[in-house]
Amino acid sequence: MNSVVHFEMPFDDRDRMVKFYESAFGWHTRKLGEDMGNYVLATTTETDDNGPRRPGAINGGFFPKKSGWPDQHTAIVIAVDDIKESVQKVTKAGGEVLGEPMAIPGVGQYVSFRDTEGNRVSLLQPIPRTSHARTQTKGDMRNKSKRRAR
């Protein structure tokens, strides 16, 4: 069984969104720069180098809405062992894969799809967790915004 490991939500106003989630829920956020698509990482639970401490808890992120881009809705990310095999399963089950899997340095292979109900969902084949990967995983979401155009 593949687990949900991350969520993503769009924003119109980054500062307003950060203030809301920090004030309303006590989440910790980290604003990434232009080179990272202005993505905002959100820590929603106690987390260490291996990820969330509590089983079943996940962290996530926020991306800026862009005019004319498809599927800018709240989405979940599902961890898979083999992204190519999972893409085939999604297609066979009636889903529509949105582009080709892309590498996120320090994180793994990533691709989005639409399920049979029109929901945008993403797949992530994480790289093995080494000390180097754990360090980069927290902040290296390079090229993530480019995938949303697909």
Domain count, the chain: 1
CATH of the domain at 17: 3.10.180.10
Cβ(125)–Cβ(111) under 8 Å?
no
Query: What confidence tens digit (pLDDT) does each residue in 71-112 have?
Result: 788 989 999 999 999 999 999 999 999 999 999 888 899 999
pTM: 0.73
Question: 68-103: b or e for each residue (b if 16 or more CB lie within 10 Å)?
Answer: eeebbeebebbbbeebeebbeebeeeebebbeebbe
Domain carrying residue 79: 4-147
> Each residue of 19-60: pLDDT tens digit?
999 998 899 999 999 988 999 999 999 999 888 999 889 999
